[in-house]
Amino acid sequence: MDPVRHRRLTLLLASPRVAPGLLSADAWDALRSADHVVAADPTAPHPAGVAAAGVDVRPVRPERSGAPPSPGDLADLLLSLVARHGTVVWLGSADGDPGLSEALAVALPEEDPPVLELLVASWDVPGARLLDAVAVMDRLRGPGGCPWDARQTHASLTPYLVEEAFEAVEALERLDDDGADRDHAREELGDVLLQVLFHARVAAEHGQEPFDVDDVAAGLVDKLVHRHPHVFAPGGGEDLDAAQVESRWEQLKAQENRTKPGRQGVLDGIPTGMPELARATKVASRLRRAGHASWLRGWTAARLEGRDPGALLLEEVLDLHDVDVDAAAALRRTLADLVAEAPAAPDRG
């Protein structure tokens, strides 16, 4: 083959989150038909996987070591290989080789340039960046990682989980109000995700009963599939409206709880550490769904006769619940307005 007439540079991009060597058919065709296949590090996972399949993968500059070439230097190296060999495939680095495309655009000769092709060999599925988050957490917690992260326990991390949950709620409620500050909401959700990953990593180190983030995800998947038979049932599920779906969810949840020790009552599983208004709303909702709405009103009325101040608050929660208003959310909105509108300076009068 005349390399002058068949000059082609293929930039082959493979996701570092996909198993090495798991590439598209077009990618394998390009690799096996190329005159020269190069990589920054042939021992990296994807180049090593390609080499294991019988393709000769060479370093882009075997005569030199040390720091990797700049985008401009790499562009010149690749184009010189094309001039010598004809068809060249560059196995992209895990970071995507930032700046290389721009450098190639500058370095390409104006007269008779080689064909430049960008070939996506594998790509991320939705949620793939979660693998990066898990890897970062493992690095922080592992040998040679961060000493602060390494000494944390479930107990020491719990206050951060509570704090981050409240911050996420605040960010999301602001988002609902005016649609602004989406970046802030995304950041706060990331902070909550960090706490989940952190606790799962700590749990994986338990000597007797470890579990990891995959176990957490597996349990979540099993729960969601089991509680959505109208979606996941073989052969298609029932056609239910939202109210029927909620009722079915509670029925299935109750069935699951009956198999758990100490989780037999209507109110079992409601955390005592919940903020009081949110807990009151949850208790009221559970009792009503269980058919005890009249009993709850009677119990509250009896406490009111004894001038129980807590019953006054509970009655307000029940009244708001009757009209589908979340008491805690309503109070948060009112307090936010109060803080925004309150005088900034003290009254000196």
User: Which residue do the tokens 């010189």 mark?
Assistant: 80
**pLDDT, tens digit (0-9, with 9 covering 90-100), for 206-256:** 999 999 999 999 999 999 998 888 888 776 667 777 878 877 777 777 777
Q: Specify the pLDDT at position 106.
A: 92
User: What percentage of the chain exceeds 70 in pLDDT?
Assistant: 93
pLDDT at 4 over 70: no
Instruction: Give residue 229's pLDDT.
Output: 85
Q: What is the pLDDT of residues 181-213, one digit of tens each?
A: 888 999 999 999 999 999 999 999 999 999 999
Neighbours of 10 (CB within 10 A): 23
Closest CA to 20 of 121, 90, 140, 97: 121
pLDDT score of 125: 87
For 135-174, how does the pLDDT look when each residue is reduced to its tens digit (9 = 90+)? 999 999 999 999 999 999 999 999 999 999 999 988 888 8
Q: Measured between alpha carbons, how far is 112 from 97 in angstroms, rounded to an integer?
A: 25
With a pLDDT cut of 90, the percent of the chain lying above it is 58
Q: For residue 239, what pLDDT is reported?
A: 78
Within a domain: 247: no
Q: Model pTM?
A: 0.70
Is the model's pLDDT at 134 over the cut of 70? Answer: yes
Let me know if residue 2 belongs to a domain: no
Q: Is residue 46 part of a domain?
A: yes
Domain boundary at 95, 120, 145, which? 120
Please report, for the domain that includes residue 41, its CATH number: 3.40.1010.10
Residue 193 lies in a domain: no
In a domain? residue 290: yes
Question: For residue range 334-348, what is the model confidence (pLDDT) as tens digits?
Answer: 998 898 898 887 777
Q: What is the pLDDT of residue 237?
A: 66
Beta strand segments in the chain, E: 8-13, 36-39, 57-59, 87-91, 115-120
Has residue 349 been placed in a domain?
A: yes
- pLDDT for position 3: 46
Q: Is the pLDDT of residue 44 over 70?
A: yes
Indicate the number of domains in the chain. 2
Q: What is the pLDDT of residue 170?
A: 87
pLDDT of residue 178: 56
Average confidence (pLDDT) over 297-316: 91
pLDDT at 1 over 60: no
pLDDT at position 90: 96
Query: Do 58 and 85 form a contact (C-beta atoms < 8 A)?
Result: no
Domain that holds residue 39: 8-120
The mean predicted confidence, pLDDT, of the chain is 88
Q: Quick one: residue 54, left, alpha or beta (phi over 0 = left, psi -120 to 50 = alpha)? A: left
Q: How confident is the model at residue 177 (pLDDT cuts 50, 70, 90)?
A: low
Contacts of residue 199, defined as CB under 8 A and 6 or more positions apart, other chains included, come to: 154, 157, 161
**pLDDT band at residue 62 using 50, 70 and 90 as cut-offs:** low
Q: Is the pLDDT of residue 54 over 60?
A: yes
320: left (phi over 0), alpha (psi -120 to 50) or beta: alpha
When pLDDT is averaged across residues 77-93 and rounded to a whole number, the result is 93
> Does any domain span residue 246?
no
The pLDDT of 278-303, averaged and rounded, is 90
Domain end among 120, 144, 166: 120
**Phi and psi torsions of 101, nearest 5°:** -60, -45
Model pLDDT, residue 292:
92
Q: Domain boundary at 120, 144, 178, which?
A: 120
pLDDT at residue 299, rounded to an integer: 92
Q: How far is the C-alpha of 75 from the C-alpha of 107, rounded, in Å? A: 7
Per-residue model confidence as pLDDT tens digits over 98-121: 999 999 999 998 888 999 999 999
Is the pLDDT assigned to residue 263 strictly greater than 90?
no
CA 69 to the chain's CA centroid:
33
The answer to whether residue 37 is domain-embedded is yes
| 265 has a pLDDT exceeding 90 | no
For the segment 300-305, the average pLDDT, to the nearest whole number, is 91
